[in-house]
A and B are shown apart, each in its own frame.
Chain A
Protein backbone atom coordinates (compact mmCIF):
# COMPACT_ATOMS: atom_id res chain seq x y z
CA UNK A 1 0.00 0.00 0.00
CA UNK A 2 1.37 3.38 -1.03
CA UNK A 3 0.75 6.43 1.16
CA UNK A 4 1.25 10.11 0.44
CA UNK A 5 1.44 12.95 2.94
CA UNK A 6 1.96 16.69 2.53
CA UNK A 7 2.68 19.55 4.94
CA UNK A 8 4.00 17.31 7.68
CA UNK A 9 7.35 17.43 9.49
CA UNK A 10 9.28 15.98 12.38
CA UNK A 11 10.35 19.03 14.39
CA UNK A 12 12.17 17.49 17.34
CA UNK A 13 13.48 14.15 18.49
CA UNK A 14 15.03 12.63 21.60
CA UNK A 15 16.09 9.13 22.58
CA UNK A 16 16.04 7.98 26.20
CA UNK A 17 18.58 5.30 27.07
CA UNK A 18 19.06 3.41 30.35
CA UNK A 19 22.32 4.63 31.88
CA UNK A 20 23.63 1.15 32.70
CA UNK A 21 25.62 -0.50 29.93
CA UNK A 22 25.89 -4.29 29.84
CA UNK A 23 28.72 -5.92 27.85
CA UNK A 24 28.28 -8.99 25.68
CA UNK A 25 31.57 -10.48 26.88
CA UNK A 26 30.35 -10.34 30.48
CA UNK A 27 27.16 -12.21 29.59
CA UNK A 28 28.62 -14.96 27.38
CA UNK A 29 28.87 -17.37 30.30
CA UNK A 30 25.05 -17.31 30.60
CA UNK A 31 24.74 -19.00 27.21
CA UNK A 32 25.10 -22.72 26.61
CA UNK A 33 27.64 -22.19 23.82
CA UNK A 34 31.43 -22.43 23.57
CA UNK A 35 33.05 -19.04 24.19
CA UNK A 36 34.88 -19.12 20.85
CA UNK A 37 31.58 -19.52 18.99
CA UNK A 38 30.02 -16.64 20.90
CA UNK A 39 33.03 -14.41 20.19
CA UNK A 40 32.78 -15.17 16.49
CA UNK A 41 29.11 -14.25 16.57
CA UNK A 42 29.96 -11.00 18.39
CA UNK A 43 32.31 -10.06 15.57
CA UNK A 44 29.87 -10.84 12.75
CA UNK A 45 26.68 -9.45 14.30
CA UNK A 46 28.25 -6.42 15.90
CA UNK A 47 27.34 -7.32 19.49
CA UNK A 48 29.25 -5.33 22.09
CA UNK A 49 27.17 -3.36 24.59
CA UNK A 50 23.47 -3.00 25.23
CA UNK A 51 21.37 -0.88 27.55
CA UNK A 52 19.02 -2.78 29.84
CA UNK A 53 16.63 -1.31 32.40
CA UNK A 54 16.85 -2.28 36.05
CA UNK A 55 14.22 -4.67 37.40
CA UNK A 56 10.83 -3.03 37.69
CA UNK A 57 11.41 -0.17 35.26
CA UNK A 58 8.46 0.17 32.88
CA UNK A 59 7.76 1.83 29.54
CA UNK A 60 6.05 4.83 31.12
CA UNK A 61 9.09 5.40 33.40
CA UNK A 62 11.38 5.92 30.40
CA UNK A 63 8.80 8.04 28.58
CA UNK A 64 7.94 10.27 31.56
CA UNK A 65 11.61 10.78 32.37
CA UNK A 66 12.40 11.87 28.82
CA UNK A 67 9.34 14.10 28.46
CA UNK A 68 10.05 15.76 31.82
CA UNK A 69 13.59 16.51 30.66
CA UNK A 70 12.27 18.08 27.45
CA UNK A 71 9.75 20.19 29.42
CA UNK A 72 12.48 21.35 31.82
CA UNK A 73 14.83 22.23 28.96
CA UNK A 74 12.15 24.26 27.22
CA UNK A 75 12.23 21.98 24.17
CA UNK A 76 8.59 21.01 24.56
CA UNK A 77 5.62 22.74 26.20
CA UNK A 78 3.37 20.23 27.97
CA UNK A 79 0.31 22.37 27.34
CA UNK A 80 0.81 22.26 23.58
CA UNK A 81 0.55 18.47 23.26
CA UNK A 82 -2.73 17.75 21.48
CA UNK A 83 -2.13 14.06 20.86
CA UNK A 84 0.09 11.46 22.51
CA UNK A 85 0.71 8.32 20.46
CA UNK A 86 2.55 5.54 22.29
CA UNK A 87 3.91 2.62 20.27
CA UNK A 88 5.04 -0.31 22.42
CA UNK A 89 4.97 -4.08 22.83
CA UNK A 90 5.75 -3.82 26.54
CA UNK A 91 2.94 -1.77 28.07
CA UNK A 92 2.84 -1.07 31.79
CA UNK A 93 -0.53 -2.88 31.97
CA UNK A 94 -2.88 -4.81 29.68
CA UNK A 95 -5.25 -1.99 30.63
CA UNK A 96 -5.26 1.04 30.89
CA UNK A 97 -3.28 2.26 27.86
CA UNK A 98 0.29 3.35 28.59
CA UNK A 99 -0.48 6.69 26.88
CA UNK A 100 -3.15 7.34 29.53
CA UNK A 101 -0.68 6.38 32.28
CA UNK A 102 1.84 8.87 30.88
CA UNK A 103 -0.79 11.58 30.50
CA UNK A 104 -1.83 11.14 34.12
CA UNK A 105 1.69 11.01 35.55
CA UNK A 106 2.72 14.18 33.72
CA UNK A 107 -0.53 16.05 34.34
CA UNK A 108 -1.15 16.72 30.68
CA UNK A 109 -4.33 18.58 29.72
CA UNK A 110 -7.55 16.56 29.34
CA UNK A 111 -8.33 18.22 25.99
CA UNK A 112 -6.18 15.79 24.00
CA UNK A 113 -6.09 12.32 22.45
CA UNK A 114 -4.08 9.48 24.02
CA UNK A 115 -3.56 6.45 21.81
CA UNK A 116 -1.63 3.18 22.17
CA UNK A 117 -0.44 1.13 19.21
CA UNK A 118 0.88 -2.42 19.64
CA UNK A 119 3.74 -2.52 17.16
CA UNK A 120 7.42 -3.32 17.17
CA UNK A 121 10.28 -2.88 14.78
CA UNK A 122 8.15 -1.03 12.19
CA UNK A 123 6.66 1.04 15.01
CA UNK A 124 8.44 4.28 14.20
CA UNK A 125 6.92 4.26 10.71
CA UNK A 126 3.48 3.20 11.95
CA UNK A 127 3.62 5.92 14.61
CA UNK A 128 4.56 8.56 12.06
CA UNK A 129 1.68 7.50 9.81
CA UNK A 130 -0.73 7.88 12.74
CA UNK A 131 0.75 11.23 13.78
CA UNK A 132 0.51 12.57 10.22
CA UNK A 133 -3.15 11.47 10.02
CA UNK A 134 -4.06 13.06 13.36
CA UNK A 135 -2.77 16.38 12.03
CA UNK A 136 -5.61 16.34 9.48
CA UNK A 137 -7.73 17.65 12.36
CA UNK A 138 -7.65 21.44 12.73
CA UNK A 139 -7.71 21.18 16.52
CA UNK A 140 -4.53 19.12 16.58
CA UNK A 141 -1.36 21.12 16.00
CA UNK A 142 1.26 19.08 17.84
CA UNK A 143 1.55 15.31 18.15
CA UNK A 144 4.05 13.63 20.43
CA UNK A 145 5.00 10.17 19.26
CA UNK A 146 6.56 7.95 21.93
CA UNK A 147 8.18 4.70 20.85
CA UNK A 148 9.20 2.70 23.88
CA UNK A 149 10.08 -0.87 24.77
CA UNK A 150 11.55 -2.63 27.80
CA UNK A 151 11.51 -6.04 26.16
CA UNK A 152 14.65 -7.23 27.96
CA UNK A 153 12.22 -8.14 30.74
CA UNK A 154 10.60 -10.63 28.34
CA UNK A 155 13.79 -12.19 26.91
CA UNK A 156 15.46 -15.15 28.57
CA UNK A 157 19.00 -14.39 29.74
CA UNK A 158 19.90 -17.89 28.50
CA UNK A 159 18.69 -17.20 24.96
CA UNK A 160 21.76 -16.43 22.88
CA UNK A 161 19.56 -15.81 19.81
CA UNK A 162 17.81 -12.81 21.37
CA UNK A 163 19.32 -11.60 24.64
CA UNK A 164 22.67 -10.30 23.27
CA UNK A 165 20.89 -7.99 20.86
CA UNK A 166 17.95 -6.75 22.93
CA UNK A 167 18.03 -3.19 24.22
CA UNK A 168 15.59 -1.05 26.16
CA UNK A 169 14.90 2.55 25.15
CA UNK A 170 12.31 5.20 24.44
CA UNK A 171 12.12 7.93 21.87
CA UNK A 172 10.08 11.11 21.79
CA UNK A 173 9.31 12.57 18.39
CA UNK A 174 7.42 15.81 17.88
CA UNK A 175 5.36 15.92 14.69
CA UNK A 176 3.68 19.08 13.38
CA UNK A 177 2.24 20.62 10.25
CA UNK A 178 4.77 22.18 7.91
CA UNK A 179 4.56 24.90 5.31
CA UNK A 180 6.45 22.62 2.94
CA UNK A 181 3.92 21.02 0.56
CA UNK A 182 6.55 18.66 -0.79
CA UNK A 183 5.26 15.11 -0.95
CA UNK A 184 6.28 12.57 1.69
CA UNK A 185 6.00 9.18 0.06
CA UNK A 186 5.57 6.05 2.15
CA UNK A 187 4.47 2.46 1.82
CA UNK A 188 3.58 -0.45 4.04
CA UNK A 189 2.82 -4.13 3.78
CA UNK A 190 1.70 -6.69 6.36
CA UNK A 191 1.44 -10.47 6.51
CA UNK A 192 -0.36 -11.84 9.53
CA UNK A 193 -0.01 -15.43 8.33
CA UNK A 194 3.61 -15.21 9.52
CA UNK A 195 2.79 -13.58 12.87
CA UNK A 196 4.28 -16.42 14.91
CA UNK A 197 7.81 -15.75 13.61
CA UNK A 198 8.17 -13.13 16.36
CA UNK A 199 6.00 -13.60 19.40
CA UNK A 200 5.66 -13.94 23.16
CA UNK A 201 3.49 -17.09 23.31
CA UNK A 202 2.11 -16.67 26.85
CA UNK A 203 0.90 -13.78 28.96
CA UNK A 204 -2.08 -12.67 26.91
CA UNK A 205 -5.64 -13.93 27.07
CA UNK A 206 -4.98 -16.82 24.64
CA UNK A 207 -2.50 -18.41 27.04
CA UNK A 208 -2.27 -16.65 30.39
CA UNK A 209 1.02 -16.81 32.30
CA UNK A 210 1.21 -19.64 34.80
CA UNK A 211 3.80 -21.72 36.62
CA UNK A 212 3.91 -23.94 33.52
CA UNK A 213 4.59 -21.08 31.09
CA UNK A 214 7.49 -19.91 33.26
CA UNK A 215 9.44 -23.17 32.91
CA UNK A 216 12.65 -22.79 30.90
CA UNK A 217 13.02 -25.30 28.07
CA UNK A 218 15.89 -26.04 25.68
CA UNK A 219 15.03 -25.22 22.06
CA UNK A 220 17.36 -27.88 20.67
CA UNK A 221 19.98 -25.30 19.67
CA UNK A 222 21.24 -24.64 23.19
CA UNK A 223 18.95 -21.72 24.00
CA UNK A 224 16.73 -21.93 27.07
CA UNK A 225 13.53 -19.91 27.20
CA UNK A 226 9.99 -20.15 28.58
CA UNK A 227 6.64 -19.56 26.91
CA UNK A 228 6.56 -16.24 28.80
CA UNK A 229 9.64 -15.14 26.85
CA UNK A 230 10.07 -13.59 23.44
CA UNK A 231 10.64 -16.21 20.77
CA UNK A 232 12.18 -15.37 17.42
CA UNK A 233 12.49 -17.69 14.45
CA UNK A 234 15.81 -16.19 13.41
CA UNK A 235 16.06 -17.91 10.04
CA UNK A 236 12.49 -17.01 9.02
CA UNK A 237 12.86 -13.40 10.13
CA UNK A 238 16.18 -12.98 8.33
CA UNK A 239 14.74 -14.41 5.12
CA UNK A 240 11.63 -12.23 5.45
CA UNK A 241 13.72 -9.06 5.74
CA UNK A 242 16.05 -9.93 2.87
CA UNK A 243 13.18 -10.95 0.60
CA UNK A 244 10.66 -8.20 1.33
CA UNK A 245 12.58 -5.04 2.23
CA UNK A 246 14.67 -4.37 -0.91
CA UNK A 247 11.64 -4.43 -3.26
CA UNK A 248 9.74 -2.25 -0.78
CA UNK A 249 12.48 0.40 -0.94
CA UNK A 250 12.76 0.14 -4.70
CA UNK A 251 9.00 0.62 -5.00
CA UNK A 252 9.13 3.64 -2.66
CA UNK A 253 11.88 5.31 -4.67
CA UNK A 254 10.17 4.51 -7.96
CA UNK A 255 6.91 6.06 -6.72
CA UNK A 256 8.77 9.15 -5.49
CA UNK A 257 10.74 9.45 -8.73
CA UNK A 258 13.97 9.24 -6.75
CA UNK A 259 17.15 7.23 -7.08
CA UNK A 260 19.42 5.65 -4.47
CA UNK A 261 21.89 8.48 -5.01
CA UNK A 262 19.23 11.11 -4.13
CA UNK A 263 19.00 9.80 -0.58
CA UNK A 264 21.48 11.14 1.99
CA UNK A 265 20.89 8.43 4.59
CA UNK A 266 19.04 5.14 4.74
CA UNK A 267 17.88 4.99 8.35
CA UNK A 268 16.62 1.46 8.78
CA UNK A 269 15.54 -0.44 11.86
CA UNK A 270 18.64 -2.12 13.29
CA UNK A 271 18.31 -5.80 14.31
CA UNK A 272 22.03 -6.48 13.83
CA UNK A 273 24.93 -5.27 11.68
CA UNK A 274 25.06 -8.36 9.43
CA UNK A 275 21.42 -8.03 8.38
CA UNK A 276 21.83 -4.34 7.56
CA UNK A 277 24.99 -4.92 5.54
CA UNK A 278 23.17 -7.54 3.47
CA UNK A 279 20.31 -5.09 2.87
CA UNK A 280 22.76 -2.38 1.85
CA UNK A 281 24.46 -4.77 -0.56
CA UNK A 282 21.12 -5.80 -2.08
CA UNK A 283 20.13 -2.17 -2.64
CA UNK A 284 23.55 -0.95 -3.77
CA UNK A 285 23.78 1.48 -0.87
CA UNK A 286 27.25 2.32 0.52
CA UNK A 287 27.57 1.15 4.14
CA UNK A 288 28.39 4.72 5.28
CA UNK A 289 24.94 5.87 4.10
CA UNK A 290 23.18 3.19 6.16
CA UNK A 291 24.23 3.52 9.83
CA UNK A 292 24.45 0.09 11.50
CA UNK A 293 26.01 0.86 14.88
CA UNK A 294 22.96 1.01 17.18
CA UNK A 295 23.06 -2.65 18.24
CA UNK A 296 26.76 -2.52 19.16
CA UNK A 297 26.29 0.56 21.36
CA UNK A 298 22.76 0.22 22.74
CA UNK A 299 21.05 -2.97 21.52
CA UNK A 300 17.97 -3.48 19.39
CA UNK A 301 15.14 -1.50 21.00
CA UNK A 302 12.45 -2.40 18.40
CA UNK A 303 10.75 0.73 17.08
CA UNK A 304 13.24 3.00 18.82
CA UNK A 305 16.34 2.10 16.81
CA UNK A 306 15.69 4.63 14.02
CA UNK A 307 15.44 7.65 16.38
CA UNK A 308 18.49 6.32 18.27
CA UNK A 309 20.43 6.06 15.01
CA UNK A 310 19.54 9.66 14.18
CA UNK A 311 20.46 11.05 17.61
CA UNK A 312 23.68 9.01 17.83
CA UNK A 313 24.99 9.55 14.31
CA UNK A 314 23.38 12.62 12.77
CA UNK A 315 22.63 15.07 15.58
CA UNK A 316 24.64 17.97 14.15
CA UNK A 317 23.39 17.33 10.62
CA UNK A 318 19.69 17.42 11.51
CA UNK A 319 20.03 20.34 13.92
CA UNK A 320 21.80 22.53 11.38
CA UNK A 321 20.09 21.53 8.15
CA UNK A 322 17.98 18.97 6.36
CA UNK A 323 18.83 15.54 5.06
CA UNK A 324 16.89 13.49 2.58
CA UNK A 325 16.15 10.39 4.63
CA UNK A 326 14.77 7.00 3.68
CA UNK A 327 13.33 5.29 6.75
CA UNK A 328 12.42 1.61 6.93
CA UNK A 329 11.05 -0.59 9.68
CA UNK A 330 10.38 -4.32 9.56
CA UNK A 331 9.46 -6.98 12.07
CA UNK A 332 6.62 -8.21 14.24
CA UNK A 333 3.30 -8.74 12.50
CA UNK A 334 4.97 -9.35 10.12
CA UNK A 335 5.13 -5.73 9.04
CA UNK A 336 7.40 -3.82 6.67
CA UNK A 337 7.15 -0.12 5.90
CA UNK A 338 9.25 2.72 4.51
CA UNK A 339 9.14 6.48 4.05
CA UNK A 340 11.11 9.10 2.14
CA UNK A 341 11.14 12.50 3.82
CA UNK A 342 13.25 15.58 4.48
CA UNK A 343 14.51 15.50 8.08
CA UNK A 344 15.65 18.75 9.72
CA UNK A 345 16.49 21.31 10.77
CA UNK A 346 15.10 20.03 14.09
CA UNK A 347 14.41 22.15 17.17
CA UNK A 348 16.20 19.54 19.28
CA UNK A 349 17.87 16.17 18.84
CA UNK A 350 19.05 14.69 22.12
CA UNK A 351 20.27 11.48 23.72
CA UNK A 352 18.95 11.43 27.28
CA UNK A 353 20.41 9.13 29.93
CA UNK A 354 17.70 7.56 32.09
CA UNK A 355 18.32 7.63 35.84
CA UNK A 356 15.64 5.52 37.58
CA UNK A 357 16.14 7.06 41.04
CA UNK A 358 15.04 10.49 39.80
CA UNK A 359 12.00 9.20 37.89
Chain B
Protein backbone atom coordinates (compact mmCIF):
# COMPACT_ATOMS: atom_id res chain seq x y z
CA UNK B 1 0.00 0.00 0.00
CA UNK B 2 1.44 3.39 -0.99
CA UNK B 3 1.69 6.29 1.45
CA UNK B 4 -1.18 8.03 -0.33
CA UNK B 5 -3.37 4.94 -0.01
CA UNK B 6 -2.45 4.71 3.67
CA UNK B 7 -3.39 8.35 4.22
CA UNK B 8 -6.73 7.84 2.45
CA UNK B 9 -7.47 4.68 4.46
CA UNK B 10 -6.65 6.52 7.68
CA UNK B 11 -9.42 9.01 6.89
CA UNK B 12 -11.99 6.64 5.36
CA UNK B 13 -11.03 3.06 6.39
CA UNK B 14 -14.31 1.67 5.02
CA UNK B 15 -13.32 2.21 1.37
CA UNK B 16 -10.98 0.50 -1.10
CA UNK B 17 -9.48 3.50 -2.87
CA UNK B 18 -7.81 1.39 -5.56
CA UNK B 19 -11.24 0.44 -6.92
CA UNK B 20 -12.40 3.95 -7.81
CA UNK B 21 -11.30 6.46 -10.43
CA UNK B 22 -13.32 9.31 -8.94
CA UNK B 23 -13.48 9.42 -5.14
CA UNK B 24 -15.64 12.55 -5.15
CA UNK B 25 -18.33 11.29 -7.54
CA UNK B 26 -18.35 7.92 -5.77
CA UNK B 27 -18.96 9.65 -2.42
CA UNK B 28 -15.77 8.32 -0.86
CA UNK B 29 -14.23 11.72 -0.09
CA UNK B 30 -15.97 14.96 0.85
CA UNK B 31 -14.57 18.47 1.20
CA UNK B 32 -13.69 17.96 4.87
CA UNK B 33 -11.92 14.70 4.08
CA UNK B 34 -9.83 16.64 1.53
CA UNK B 35 -8.85 19.09 4.26
CA UNK B 36 -7.75 16.24 6.52
CA UNK B 37 -5.83 14.64 3.66
CA UNK B 38 -4.04 17.92 2.89
CA UNK B 39 -3.04 18.28 6.54
CA UNK B 40 -1.61 14.74 6.39
CA UNK B 41 0.23 15.37 3.12
CA UNK B 42 1.73 18.67 4.33
CA UNK B 43 3.01 16.92 7.46
CA UNK B 44 4.16 13.69 5.82
CA UNK B 45 6.03 15.25 2.90
CA UNK B 46 7.09 18.51 4.56
CA UNK B 47 5.44 20.61 1.86
CA UNK B 48 2.81 23.33 1.85
CA UNK B 49 0.03 22.63 -0.61
CA UNK B 50 -1.38 25.95 -1.79
CA UNK B 51 -4.99 26.70 -0.91
CA UNK B 52 -5.86 27.19 -4.58
CA UNK B 53 -4.80 23.59 -5.25
CA UNK B 54 -7.27 22.20 -2.71
CA UNK B 55 -10.00 21.52 -5.25
CA UNK B 56 -11.93 18.27 -5.86
CA UNK B 57 -10.27 17.49 -9.19
CA UNK B 58 -6.84 17.29 -7.54
CA UNK B 59 -8.11 14.67 -5.06
CA UNK B 60 -10.45 12.67 -7.30
CA UNK B 61 -8.11 9.67 -7.66
CA UNK B 62 -4.76 8.33 -6.56
CA UNK B 63 -3.35 9.35 -9.96
CA UNK B 64 -4.66 12.91 -9.52
CA UNK B 65 -3.11 13.18 -6.05
CA UNK B 66 0.20 11.80 -7.35
CA UNK B 67 0.14 14.32 -10.21
CA UNK B 68 -0.51 17.14 -7.72
CA UNK B 69 2.40 16.05 -5.53
CA UNK B 70 4.65 15.76 -8.57
CA UNK B 71 4.03 19.47 -9.21
CA UNK B 72 5.50 20.10 -5.75
CA UNK B 73 8.52 17.92 -6.57
CA UNK B 74 7.31 15.03 -4.43
CA UNK B 75 7.59 11.42 -5.59
CA UNK B 76 4.84 9.70 -3.59
Chain A residues with a Cβ under 8 A of chain B: 37, 40-41, 44-45, 160-161, 220-221, 234-235, 238-239, 241-243, 274-275, 278-279, 281-282
Contacts and interface: CB of A to CB of B under 8 A. Distances in A.
Interface string B16-54: 000000000001001110111001000000001011101
B74 interface: no
A278 B51 contact: yes
Contacts of A160: 32
Among B27, B36, B51, chain A packs the most CB atoms within 10 A around the CB of B51
A65 B55 CA distance: 43
A278 B50 contact: yes
What is the interface of chain A mostly: helix, strand, loop, or mixed?
helix
B39 A220 contact: no
A161 B34 CA distance: 13
A242 B11 contact: no
A172 B52 CA distance: 34
14 contacts: A40-B11, A41-B32, A41-B36, A44-B36, A161-B32, A220-B27, A221-B27, A221-B30, A235-B55, A235-B56, A243-B51, A278-B51, A281-B51, A282-B50
B27 A234 contact: no
A243 B54 CA distance: 10
A235 B30 CA distance: 9
A35 to B, nearest CB: 13
Given A160-B32, A235-B31, A241-B51, 9 more contacts: A37-B12, A41-B35, A44-B36, A220-B27, A234-B32, A235-B56, A242-B54, A278-B51, A282-B51
Interface of B: 11-12, 27, 30-32, 34-36, 39, 48, 50-52, 54-56
Contacts of B11: 37, 40
Nearest to B55: A239
Contacts of B36: 37, 40-41, 44
Nearest to A281: B48
Nearest to A221: B30
A127 B9 CA distance: 46
A108 B51 CA distance: 46
Contacts of B30: 221, 234
A239 B52 contact: yes
A235 B50 contact: no
B39 A238 contact: no
B53 to A, nearest CB: 9
B52 A242 contact: yes
Given A220-B27, A221-B30, A234-B31, A281 B50 contact: yes
A281 B39 CA distance: 13
Nearest to A160: B32
B27 A239 contact: no
Contacts of B39: 44, 274
B19 to A, nearest CB: 20
A41 B34 CA distance: 11
A40 B36 CA distance: 7
Contacts of A238: 31, 35, 51, 54
A31 to B, nearest CB: 11
A220 B29 CA distance: 11
Contact of B50 (A37, A241, A242): A242
Contacts of A281: 48, 50-51
B54 A278 contact: yes
Contacts of A41: 32, 35-36
A221 to B, nearest CB: 5
A44 B48 CA distance: 14
A133 to B, nearest CB: 33
B31 to A, nearest CB: 4
Contacts of A221: 27, 30
